[in-house]
Chain A
C-alpha cells in the first residue's frame, strides 16, 4: 500500500514569506507526527495529532509555526514569516494508534530552504 507522502519535496522561499507543507499519512493511521531535521542532526519533534486534535504541540519552536489536521487525515504545517534558521527537512510520520511502542512510518520529507 501507499506510504506516507509529503509535498512539495523541495521548497525554496524568501525570508519573511509564508509556507505550507503537506503530509498525507497512511490510510487508517490515527496518529500523525511532524519532525524537523537539520543537517547532521536527528529529527526533532514538533507536534503530534491524535485524530483531528493536536495532542502534543510542545515541540513547536514559536508561534510562527502552526499545524492543522481538520479531517483527521491530511495535515498541513504552516510557517509564517519564515527565517533562515527555519531551513531544514520537515518530516511527517504516522502510526496506527499513537502508542509509544507503535512503529512510526516516515515520509520522504520536505526540504525547506529560506533564502
Chain B
C-alpha cells in the first residue's frame, strides 16, 4: 500500500536558519504530493502541493520539488521565523488507484527559537 515517511522531530532551529524536512513516499500509482501544516491550537492547512514530476510547489517562502526518481518531496525554507513553529505533515493522494483519501506521514515538529 501507499506510505509516507518523514524525518522525526522535533527539529529545533534558530531564526533565519535554513530548513529542510525530508519526505519520501511509496505509491502504487502516480500520486499528487502535499505538505500540510498544523499551527499550535489550529487545524490542518494546506501549505503547498505538486501534482507531477519536477513540479515545484511553493508558498510563504516554503518550497518542495516532486522528485519521481527518488520518490521524495522534501520541504525547504531559506530563512525560518519564530512564526513557522508548527507541525508539518507530508501527504500523498494516489489518484491512479481511484483512492481519493490522503495518506499522511507521522509529522515533524519544528521549533524556531528567537
Contact = CB atoms under 8 A, between A and B. Distances in A.
Interface of A: 4, 31, 33, 35, 40-45, 48, 50, 55-56, 59, 91, 93, 98-101, 103-109
Contacts of A45: 101-103
Interface string B9-24: 0000000000000000
B71 interface: no
Interface in B62-94: 89, 91, 93-94
Contact of A42 (B31, B42, B104): B104
Given A101-B95, A105-B46, 9 more contacts: A4-B43, A42-B4, A43-B89, A43-B102, A91-B44, A100-B94, A101-B49, A101-B93, A104-B46
A14 B44 CA distance: 28
Nearest to A103: B46
B98 to A, nearest CB: 8
Contacts, number: 65
B91 to A, nearest CB: 7
A101 B102 contact: no
Interface of B: 4, 31-32, 36, 42-46, 49, 51, 89, 91, 93-95, 99-107
A107 B100 contact: no
12 contacts: A35-B101, A40-B106, A41-B107, A42-B91, A42-B106, A42-B107, A48-B100, A98-B100, A100-B95, A101-B32, A101-B95, A108-B42
